[in-house]
């Protein structure tokens, strides 16, 4: 579970970094367009024209702060929107059920030696696929991210094996 949490947080951080980089590119390429988008959002939030102009002009003089404001308002990074815990727990249950059953299924249909190999191959392929997805979402090197995911999962499996050995002795 610790490895899964690590990968989840890392993927979320990578996605946020990629979105910030994209927003910075948009600011660099079209500052006037981004300023107009900000003006529109401020007016929608209830600012009058004088305050809107003052805020946008001040932010344009401070590019790092402009990026932070754009991230907060456009990308909604750091949003206070609450996730439904029931929905999140159902998705966690489904994903845990899938993750736990995939390596076991070959043992129901194949002889023990074959099942071990098939289980290992299927699990490795699914972990590599997860790593590819993480790389795409986070705009990272897909190969490196896939191998990192496989490596973290392998380390978690080895740690589980060693703890099991310690407990049974």
- Segment 149-159, tens digit of pLDDT: 999 999 988 99
- pLDDT tens digits for 19-63? 888 888 888 898 888 888 888 888 988 999 899 889 888 888 888
Q: Is the pTM of this model over 0.85?
A: no
pLDDT band at 18 (very low <50, low <70, confident <90, very high): confident
> To which H or E segment does residue 12 belong?
helix 2-29
The 8 Å CB, 24+ separation contacts for 66-71 are 66/27, 66/34, 66/38, 67/20, 67/23, 67/24, 67/27, 69/38, 70/23, 70/27, 70/34, 70/38, 71/19, 71/20, 71/23
Mean pLDDT of the chain: 86
């Amino acid at each position: 579970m610790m490895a899964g949490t690590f990968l989840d947080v890392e993927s979320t951080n990578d996605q946020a970094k990629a979105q910030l980089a994209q927003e910075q590119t948009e600011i660099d390429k079209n500052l006037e367009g981004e300023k107009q988008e900000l003006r529109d959002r401020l007016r929608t939030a209830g600012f009058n024209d004088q305050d809107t102009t003052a805020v946008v002009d001040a932010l344009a003089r401070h590019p790092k702060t402009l990026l932070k404001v754009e991230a907060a308002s456009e990308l909604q990074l750091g949003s206070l929107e609450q996730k439904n815990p029931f929905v999140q727990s159902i998705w966690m249950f489904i994903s845990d059920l899938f993750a736990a059953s995939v390596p076991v299924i070959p043992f129901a249909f194949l002889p023990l030696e074959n099942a071990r190999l098939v289980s290992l191959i299927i699990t490795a392929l699914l972990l590599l696929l997860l790593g590819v997805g993480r790389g795409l979402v986070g705009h990272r090197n897909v190969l490196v991210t896939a191998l990192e995911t496989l490596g973290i999962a392998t380390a978690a499996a080895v740690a589980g094996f060693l703890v099991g050995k310690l407990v049974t002795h």
